[in-house]
């Protein structure tokens, strides 16, 4: 039962993240939405799959992938945001604070 709840939560996070990527005005807010979508949605779905399969070698591999996603997605997002800022891409006018200036 909990597996299906995790599938639904992960799917909802992925859909909301996709809407955020389409609707947000600049690269930084889109990057924020896509990172939340990738990290939260993928972790929920993969955790649901691991629980659905039970304790076996495949679920252990899925849990190791889950751990890597949890660690590497925020790092990659930060690197992309930093590179965008160094390249000179300005945030939207609605952004109030630019921490790098």
**Considering the domain boundaries, does residue 100 fall inside one?**
no
**Considering the domain boundaries, does residue 58 fall inside one?**
yes
Given pLDDT bands bounded at 50, 70 and 90, which one contains residue 100?
Answer: low
What are 31-84's pLDDT values in tens digits? 888 898 889 999 999 999 999 998 999 999 999 999 999 999 999 999 998 999
Identify the residue whose tokens are 């659905």: 52
**The dihedral of CA 52, 55, 60, 61: what is its sign?**
negative
Distance in angstroms (rounded) separating the CA atoms of residues 55 and 62? 11
Q: Which residue segment(s) compose the domain that 25 sits in?
A: 2-87
Write down the pLDDT at residue 65.
Answer: 94
With a cut of 80, say whether residue 18 has pLDDT above it. Answer: yes
Please report, to the nearest 10 degrees, the dihedral formed by the alpha carbons of residues 62, 1, 37, 77 taken in order. -40
Domain count, the chain: 1
**Considering the domain boundaries, does residue 98 fall inside one?**
no
Distance in angstroms (rounded) separating the CA atoms of residues 27 and 91? 7
**Considering the domain boundaries, does residue 66 fall inside one?**
yes
Q: pTM of the prediction?
A: 0.80
How would you class 84 by CB atoms within 10 Å of its CB: exposed for 0-12, middle for 13-18, buried for 19 or more?
middle
């Amino acid at each position: 039962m909990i597996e299906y709840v995790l599938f639904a939560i992960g799917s909802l996070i992925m859909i909301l993240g996709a809407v955020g990527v389409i609707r947000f005005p600049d690269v930084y807010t889109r990057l924020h939405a896509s990172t939340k979508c990738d990290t939260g949605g993928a972790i929920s779905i993969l955790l649901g799959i691991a629980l659905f399969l039970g304790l076996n070698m495949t679920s252990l591999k899925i849990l190791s992938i889950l751990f890597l996603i949890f660690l590497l997605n925020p790092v990659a997002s930060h690197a992309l945001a930093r590179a965008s800022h160094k390249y000179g891409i300005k945030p939207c006018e609605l952004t109030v604070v630019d921490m790098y200036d």
